[in-house]
Chain A
Amino acid sequence: MSYFHPGRAPVLPARRRKAARLQLEELVRRTAKTPRRRHPVAVAAVIAIALLSSGAAAFAVVAHQPVTNTHLARCFTSASVSGFATVISAPGRPGSVGHVAKAHNQCADLYRDGYLKKGVRREIARPAGGDHPVPHLVVCTWNDGSAAVFPGQKGTCARLDLPAAARR
């Protein structure tokens, strides 16, 4: 038994399907285990380079992807893809389809005005007046090409398996 009529089973919209598939394929290529068969000398060389280098940054995989969908952006309150997020669109017109030119700044404004607070899984309906703390924010590219803004540092996007938003 299924909730949907057999002839009308829902189909993920093509635009999302294609974008999500491409992103997943890229993610797998970037983050899967490296092949196990490696020449021992090559492995030793890699370890030596790692020890001699300044730190983990030598291993950091830097992956950037431009933000191509500016109709909306997501402001997260924690560094988690399944955490709470507010979707923003056109400034001043909540809920409308608009153009998010600078997602980082707009999310920072929500923090500054007190609507969002790092670690709080909800929006604050009536924030107290004055400026509120704004955490360090990083902009990643969501699978639909829109910006996803997370509290975090350099490397947060990679940790979330998302490409960092490329500067235009």
Chain B
Amino acid sequence: MGIDWASASDQDLWSHAAIDGAGEAFGELFERHADRVYAHCFSRTGSWSMAEDLTSVVFLEAWRRRNEVRFSGDSALPWLLGVANNATRNAQRSLRRHNLLLAKLPPPGEEADIAADAAARVDQERLAEHLLCAMAGLRQAEQEVLALCDWAGLSYAEAAVATGVPEGTVRSRLFRARQHLRDLADDNQARCVRVTRSPARLLAGGHA
């Protein structure tokens, strides 16, 4: 008799995958959380194409670190978003170093399967660029907690699992992050309004 993976809890799925080697169980976990991870990666990078790559990286990393998983209630999502934070941090480091060089490259072609909602996606990339620019003045830890709580919609307890710090620290970081964002508002208004290039365009180029 087959197992009904769709109704299994995250913890059950994780156990079946890690102990029994049930690929379908991990596949179900991926189906369950891929979109939230994708959205979080997008909100941290401002690039749909980069978010696609990072979503895969997050689940590969999650599998590699499968013995370190922590559940919030029954959900693996907060921990997965914590893995996503690490993955995006590494990716952004490379991007920051190469913005000037990569900005000289022409933009990549359109992808056929996003043509229908291309305008909305471009709008979202622009908005994300603006928000990321505005957040650039915050400390990394503040950016992450802001993205987890205010963008991904995690509770304080879930964000604590994602970041590996106590819930009280999450609360204070979030308070400081919002405060700093308000303090930077005037500066950001002038600095970020003219951002035009997206990391998506920056990443997809190459040399030959």
Contact = CB atoms under 8 A, between A and B. Distances in A.
Given A32-B20, A95-B106, A121-B94, A20 B34 contact: yes
Interface string B76-92: 00000000001100110
A21 B207 contact: no
A82 B87 contact: yes
B61 A10 contact: no
A27 B62 CA distance: 12
Interface stretch (A11-19, A59-67, A129-137): A11-19
Contacts of B19: 32-33, 35-36
Contacts of A35: 19-21
Interface string A2-14: 1110001111111
B208 A90 contact: yes
Interface string B180-197: 000000000000000000
A95 B39 contact: no
A121 B89 CA distance: 13
B30 A20 contact: yes
A140 to B, nearest CB: 12
Interface in B102-152: 102, 105-109, 111, 113-114, 120, 124, 131, 149-152
B75 to A, nearest CB: 16
A119 interface: no
Contacts of A121: 93-94, 97
A83 B86 CA distance: 12
A166 interface: no
B153 A2 contact: yes
A2 B152 contact: yes
B27 interface: yes
A69 interface: no
B181 to A, nearest CB: 14
A167 interface: no
A89 interface: yes
Given A3-B43, A28-B23, A94-B208, A12 B55 contact: yes
Interface of B: 17-27, 30-31, 34-35, 38-39, 42-43, 48, 51-52, 55-57, 59-61, 63-64, 86-87, 90-91, 93-94, 97-98, 100-102, 105-109, 111, 113-114, 120, 124, 131, 149-153, 203-208
A2 B153 CA distance: 5
Given A27-B60, A32-B20, A143-B56, A3 B39 contact: yes
A28 B26 contact: yes
A61 to B, nearest CB: 12
B150 A3 contact: yes
A125 B101 contact: yes
A106 B208 contact: yes
Interface in A64-85: 72, 81-84
Nearest to B52: A16
B152 A3 contact: yes
A165 interface: no
Nearest to B91: A82
Given A20-B55, A33-B19, A94-B208, 13 more contacts: A12-B38, A12-B52, A17-B34, A23-B56, A27-B63, A28-B22, A29-B21, A82-B57, A82-B87, A94-B106, A94-B206, A109-B208, A161-B64
